[in-house]
Amino acid sequence: MGFAAEYRLDEGARRRAHRWRRAALAALIAGAVVFPLSAAGRPEIPAPAPASLAPLSASTLDEAYAANRANAAEAARMAAAHHDRDRAATDRQLAAPARHLLRFDGRGSGRVAEVLGDLARADRIAVLVPGSDTSLDTYGRFHAAAAALYGQLV
């Protein structure tokens, strides 16, 4: 075997190593995309449809709060029956009498609009819009930040 034959073997080995490296990088990138998205694909958690409410006004706020708390309580019972303790705990917290839920939908990742303070008599209001990564499962963090902001404004 001369120099050319050895060079061809080394070149072939380098090509194979390069292919393996590319395949490993492709698998790593695919895993980096698929793994976080697979966590988002959790099973559907059963919950009742949102409460059917009269048009919101200062006189109907208390009825809306009560209906949405009742909806959250029912969602907590359904989540517990579905063996999702975390969602059931979150829904139970939202169903507490002190909470003022303007809107509640426990289906899927869930949606909630909560009032801090007295909306009917407010001179000013602030609206905080959660990001796309906020769900009922992560709402506690968002609520804590909103409550801290409310505490500074009062």
pLDDT in tens, 81-98: 999 999 999 999 999 999
Domain-embedded: residue 115: yes
Domain-embedded: residue 9: yes
Q: How many domains does the chain have?
A: 2
- Residue 71 and residue 137 in one domain: yes
Domain-embedded: residue 56: no
Domain-embedded: residue 48: no
Domain residue limits at 138: 61-153
pLDDT score, position 84:
92
With bands split at pLDDT 50, 70 and 90, how would you rate the model's confidence at 13?
Answer: confident
- Residue 79 and residue 139 in one domain: yes
User: The dihedral of CA 146, 151, 152, 154: what is its sign?
Assistant: positive
- Residue 69 and residue 141 in one domain: yes
- Residue 94 and residue 149 in one domain: yes
- Residue 33 and residue 88 in one domain: no
- Residue 69 and residue 124 in one domain: yes
Residue 18 has pLDDT above 80, yes or no: no
- Over residues 135-140, mean pLDDT: 86
Instruction: Name the least confident of 30-39, 50-59, 93-102, 132-141.
Output: 30-39
Domain-embedded: residue 11: yes
Residue 136 has pLDDT above 80, yes or no: yes
**CA distance linking residue 75 with residue 69, whole number of Å:** 10
